[in-house]
Structure 1
Amino acid sequence: MLSVAVAQLVLLLLRPDGVAAEQSSEERIEIWEPAYHDLSCTVADTFVGKPDSMNGYWTKDGEEINQTQVTIQKKIDQYHLQKRFYINGSSLGNYSCVFMNGTKNITRSFLIYALSMKNKTDKPIVSYIGTSAVLTCNIKPMPLTWEWYKVNRTEKGMINVTDSPPRYKTQMSGSESRLTIENLVEEDTDTYVCMAVYPIGPVQGEVTLRVLSFMEPLKPFLVVLVEVVLLVFLILLCECQGRRKGSTAVPENGTHIDQTENLRKEEPSGTEETTAKRRKV
C-alpha cells in the first residue's frame, strides 16, 4: 500500500498585526520508497497587493508541468496552491510552485531526492597480507537487502560469498552490513561498493581497502637508515683523505734543512782527506 506524504511550504506567514513574520524558499524531502506526496504552498495577500484571485502552476526541474495551471481564489487573506504527485525513482527532482503576480512571479521549491549514505569517508582501510579485513556500511532506515561489489578498474563485479575456499563473509545486522575478507593478498587492494536496496532503488556507498606487506611500514625507516649510513661513510672518507694529505706534505724550507744536514755530515770526511795529503807530503 502506497503512503501519502504531505509537504507544505509556507511562503509568507503573517503575525496578528499583519506584518510578515517568516519566509521559506526551499524544502528538502528525502525518500526511500515510492509514494504520493501532497505538495502545498501558501502566500499571504499582503505580499501581492490583495487581489481577489491569482493564477498559479507547478514546475519540475524548471519546466512547467502540463495541466497544473489553476486560478487561485483568496481565502482568509491567503492564496493556497496544492498538488499531489506520485514520486518514484524516475520522478525525483526539484518541484516548484509558482504564483503569477502580474509581471513578477513568486516561486518556491521542493527538492525531492533519494536516500543517500551519510557516513562516507575518504580514508582507506589498511590491512596486511595474510590477515583479514572488515568493511562496514550503514544506513537508516533498514534496507530490504544488501549487496557487495568489487570495482575492477571501470567494471563492477558482484562478490560471490560461495567461492571455494571461502574468503568472503557478509553479515547484516539491522541497518548495518559487514563484508569480511580473509587471507588477504595484495590483489585485494581495491574499491568495494556496498549497495543498500530500497523500493525506490539502490543506494550506493564505497569503501577503499589497501593491503600492505609487513615490510611496508619499515620502508621509510630503512630509507632514513641508508641515508644516515651513507652520510657517515662520506664524512669518514673525507677525514681519511685529509689525514693522508697532511702526512705527505713537505715544508717550504724542508729541502734547505736536508742539504744543510748533509753538508755537516760531509765536512769531517773532507778534513780527514786534507790531513792525509799533508802527511804524505
Structure 2
Amino acid sequence: MHSLQFTAESSSNGILERDFLVGDVPGVLWSPAAPASGAERAPLVLMGHGGGAHKKHRAMQGRAQKLVTGCGFHVAVIDAPGHGDRPRSAYDEQEIAELRRAQAAGEPEAPIVVRYNARLAELAVPEWRATLDALQELPEIGADGPVGYVGIAMGTALGVPMVAAEPRITAAVLGMMWPDALFEAAKRITVPIEFVLQWDDARVPREAGLALFDAFASKEKTLHANAGDHVAFPMFEVDSSVRFLARHLGREVTSQA
C-alpha cells in the first residue's frame, strides 16, 4: 500500500493546491484554503480528465474551483496512464497513432477509442482506489466521509468501472462516451447518477449515450441532453453537477465563483 506524498503546495483565491504522488502516480488535491468555522472534515470529489488531457487541464481547474469555493469540497485528480506527467508506453503510442490515422482517413474512431480506454481503465481503477485509500488517511478528509466522482468522455470510460468497483463512491456525474465496454459495469451501479450528452454529437451519437444511460441500475438517474456537437458542452452543466454533488454529499452550495 502506497502512502500519499505531497510534492508542491500553493494557495490562491481561497483554494489550496497540493501536488502529490501515490507510488509513481501523480495527482493534485484542491482544498479550501481556510476551512469553514467548525468544519473539521469535508467530502471528497474525485475527477477523471478527458482523453489527451491531464490533471491540471483548464476543465479540471474550472470544475475544482466551483466545487471547492461553492461547497467546500476537497477535489482530487490523477493523471491517467500515458497522460500528463506520466510517460507513454509503446502500446499508448501505437493506439494514439492508429486513432490519428483513422481520424485523418475519416474512418470510425469508436472501435479504437473503446479498446484503448478499456485498457486504460484496467490500469487506472486500481490506481484510483489506492489514491482514495491514501487521501482518506488525511485528517481533513477521513475514512468515513462521502465521496463523489465526476468524469466526462474518457473520464466516463475510466469512471464507470471505478464507480462500479468502489462502494465508497456515493454519487457520480458521467456522460459522452460509447457504451460498448461499459455495459456490464454500468449494470452494477446503483448510486445516483447525473448523465450528460450532446444531442448532435458527431463523435458519440445520442443513441450510444442513451444506451449507456439506460444500462445504469440506479433508481435515481437524471439525463441532461443539450443541443450541439461534442465540443459544444455547455458550461452551465458544470454548475448543475456542483448542485447535484452538493445534494448527494450533504453540503450546501454557498457560491458559484
When normalised by structure 2's length, the TM-score is 0.19
Max Rg structure: 1
Instruction: Identify which of structures 1 and 2 has the higher relative contact order when contacts are C-alpha pairs closer than 8 Å and 6+ apart.
Output: 2
Q: Name the structure with the higher strand share.
A: 1
When normalised by structure 1's length, the TM-score is 0.18
Q: Name the structure with the higher helix share.
A: 2
